Amino acid sequence: MTRTAPIVLCAALVFPTIGCAQGVPVSNEPDESPVQIPLTVTQNPRFGTYSAKIAIALGNGKPLAFGFDTGSSGLHVFADANLEAPNSGVRCTQTPTKVTYGNPPRITFAGVVCYAQLHFDGFSTVTLVPVAYLTSAECSRGSAICRIPNLHSPKAMNGYGVFGVGLTGVMSGNGSVPNPILTLPGRRGSVYAIALRHDGGQLVLGASEPPNSAEFDLQPGNVPGERYSLARTCLFVAERPINTCLLISLDTGNGVPWIHDDTSIPIPQRDGLVRPGTRLGFAPPGSGREATFDVAGTSFADSIKVVAIPDHSPLTNTSIQAFFDRIVTYDNTRGVIAIASAP
């Protein structure tokens, strides 16, 4: 990986509507010019689920693989990255931070806030970016299923951390760390697009929203430090609306789609699962066509569970599957997530 980012190759043959710099040195370009960063996509041989990763070197360190997660915000780095090593180029503070993973919540990781320059494949941040360095863990209160992994083992942790690029959730304060993209200057730090295939993809900073995109408007934040909260979606079955709308989490970090609602919603179901073969579509409220969809299957990876959660708002998580063969544009200025079919 080259840290000085000499060239950004154009992906117009694959995703022409995103736009990218064409063979021009990034260091000589204005902040408004798009920057393309590659993503890898792998399939778990045991469970069949897909996951996306991005390579990042922190400070003076070597490139490490981080989970690419639109369902969370902030760069959370596990102990196996060893940020406190001599000459790491990373400055750690005594400010405590923590994050809880799992649905329902299972493990809470804790550590401190550190500051590091981030080096991607073809691009580096100009300033130091706050990251959460997580060096301890405990089972969340009430968690029935919890096993603390070895935080110093990349294999046990499935990588070196999570790169959260979502626009919702608390972005700063109380030890939380922001989505690193939003710390960048100019358009690169406010609009970005994600284009995923089953064998790879791209993150494009400073992208333009493709024409004919379906726009999901994020709702205002509900707690201090939260600018936006989740958008709403209306469900389709077999490409027809079913007059059911609920909150939506467009989440590349989740391998399996699910719906948290009561079982009376008009979706073909059996034993708490959406009936195999059912095409479940997601559209912005008021739209006459679905923006993306999942197809229920019989395996662990493509079964869609319907679960009632008392005292919680109805919610669906699309999983990474709804991103494939789509261009998903995140606009932090307008508070919009837009989805278009990839050419």
Q: CB of 131 within 8 A of CB of 75?
A: yes
Looking at residue 182, what DSSP letter applies?
Answer: G
Q: Is 193 left (phi over 0), alpha (psi -120 to 50) or beta?
A: beta
Structural domains of the chain, with CATH: 26-205 (2.40.70.10), 214-341 (2.40.70.10)
The contacts of residue 180 (CB under 8 Å, 6+ apart) are 74, 75, 118, 125, 129, 131, 163, 165
Q: Are strands 91-101 and 258-260 parallel, antiparallel or unpaired?
A: unpaired
Q: Tell me the three state secondary structure of residue 183.
A: helix
Q: How far is CA 144 from CA 107, 140, 149, 227, 253, in A?
A: 11, 9, 16, 32, 22
DSSP 323: G
Can you tell me the distance from the alpha carbon of 28 to that of 22, in angstroms, rounded to the nearest whole number?
13
pTM, to two decimals:
0.88
pLDDT string in tens for the chain (343-residue length): 333 333 232 333 334 334 443 333 444 455 679 999 999 999 999 999 999 999 999 999 999 999 999 999 999 999 999 999 999 999 999 999 998 877 666 888 999 999 999 999 989 999 999 999 999 999 877 666 788 888 888 888 888 999 999 999 776 666 789 999 999 999 999 999 999 999 999 999 999 999 999 999 999 998 888 899 999 999 999 999 999 999 999 999 999 999 998 777 899 998 899 999 999 999 999 999 999 999 999 999 999 999 887 778 899 999 999 999 999 999 999 999 999 999 8
* CB of 196 closer than 8 Å to CB of 50: no
